[in-house]
Structure 1
Amino acid sequence: MGYGDDNDFQKVGKYMGNIGAQAKTNTVYIKAITDLLVEKQIITKEELDSRFNSIYEEESDKIIEFFKGESN
């Protein structure tokens, strides 16, 4: 009794590749939007960085709590 056959691993690899491709696409969209916001002077680069860092820290803490089993 094994952990799966080659077909299972191929499926997992395909799913991981799809997730990676989608993440890259989302990153490109976000970068384009943020560049446009700064270019149009809707927000400064410093404000954008500050907001990003704040949200990143908050969400990172939530992810850590989730994997520790401390999430509701």
Structure 2
Amino acid sequence: MRIRLAILTGVALVIGVIVAYALAGVSVRPVHSLLRGVRAVGAGNLNQRVEIYRKDEIGVLTQAFNDMTVNLRE
């Protein structure tokens, strides 16, 4: 009984780590994309545009970044 419980606990732990890693990747990827855009604009590339994949706060921030680059070009 204890061995079965230890095995199930280990399996649950491994699954939890995998799910957490996948969710972290989904959350961090758009931030890295926006960071590349910010660095490009900082280097003088005002034609930089970042694709918007999300409709949450990160998407709103990305849209504001794209609007900012348009205003800087004008």
What's the TM-score, normalizing by structure 2? 0.45
What's the TM-score, normalizing by structure 1? 0.46
